[in-house]
């Protein structure tokens, strides 16, 4: 019985890592950091676009920084002009599902609908389909790898996450600056899931403070795909 209990605990621990571990690729191929030696760092934003995204775009423009925006299809359909503005400013757009559901226990059909609808709306608005996907809450599940492959998507996790949906700006900056190094992928949010007119003032303040700190480390602030380019 003891051996069975140990084996069960080990299996549960492995599944938990496979589902949410940032370095896990068991259920779906994904990356959580880029190569070293290029002095590049990838800035990413989830859950948008939102009515606050233009303010974020202005901050990025002031610092000549680029980013990858993992957008929800529902928000993109609601705010197509803001999605266009993201693309027109030279930022990368990734897929973050249509309605931001947790994918654990989701069927392949559910995942295909959430991801496929988002691919379609992004292409309809911007003229291009994403090649990157970030699972909501960082949760992967059985069948997701096949769905990603069907749509030509590479999964992207993160090296560090700002927890900016609840932390003050100073704490967000501290978390991300501590992890900021060559090849890191940093995760923030320009929306709050599907909320209309979300308050992201703490995120905006954090980005204003963080970008000069990253540049002081001689890091080029760019998108995920640009960081991976050889």
Task: Give alpha helix (H) positions in 156-223.
Answer: 169-179, 201-216
Taking the C-alpha atoms of residue 34 and residue 157, their distance in angstroms, rounded to an integer, is 11
pTM of the full predicted structure? 0.94
In this predicted structure, the answer to whether residue 7 has a pLDDT above a threshold of 80 is: no
Q: Would you call 46 a catalytic residue per the annotation?
A: yes
E strand or H helix that includes residue 85: helix 80-88
Q: Would you call 189 a catalytic residue per the annotation?
A: yes
pLDDT at position 226: 97
- Among the listed residues 96, 100, 189, 190, the single catalytic one is 189
Taking the C-alpha atoms of residue 94 and residue 226, their distance in angstroms, rounded to an integer, is 13
Range of the domain at 17: 2-228
Task: Convert the pLDDT of each residue in 183-225 to its tens digit.
Answer: 999 999 999 999 999 999 999 999 999 999 999 999 999 999 9
Taking the C-alpha atoms of residue 30 and residue 21, their distance in angstroms, rounded to an integer, is 11
Q: What is the CATH number of the domain that holds 108?
A: 3.20.20.370
Task: Convert the pLDDT of each residue in 116-144 to its tens digit.
Answer: 999 999 999 999 999 999 999 999 999 99
**Count of domains forming the chain:** 1
């Amino acid at each position: 019985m003891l051996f069975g209990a140990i084996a069960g605990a080990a299996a549960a621990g492995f599944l938990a890592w496979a589902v949410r571990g940032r370095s896990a690729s068991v259920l779906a191929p994904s990356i959580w950091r880029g190569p070293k030696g290029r002095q590049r760092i990838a800035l990413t934003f989830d859950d948008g676009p939102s009515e606050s995204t233009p303010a974020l775009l202005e901050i990025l423009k002031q610092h000549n920084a680029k980013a990858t925006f993992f957008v929800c299809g529902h928000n993109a359909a609601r705010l197509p002009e803001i999605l266009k503005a993201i693309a027109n400013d030279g930022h990368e757009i990734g897929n973050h599902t249509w309605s931001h559901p947790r994918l654990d226990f989701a069927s392949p059909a559910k995942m295909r609908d959430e991801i496929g609808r988002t691919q379609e709306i992004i292409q309809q608005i911007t003229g291009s389909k994403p090649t990157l996907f970030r699972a909501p809450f960082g949760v992967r599940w059985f069948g997701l790898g096949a769905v990603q492959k069907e749509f030509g998507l590479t999964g992207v996790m993160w090296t560090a996450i700002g927890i900016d949906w609840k932390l003050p700006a100073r704490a967000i900056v501290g978390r991300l600056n501590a992890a900021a190094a060559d090849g890191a992928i940093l995760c923030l949010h320009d929306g709050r899931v599907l909320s209309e007119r979300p308050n992201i003032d703490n995120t905006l303040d954090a980005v204003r403070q963080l970008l000069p700190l990253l540049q002081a480390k001689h890091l080029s602030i760019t998108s995920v795909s640009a960081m991976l380019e050889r």
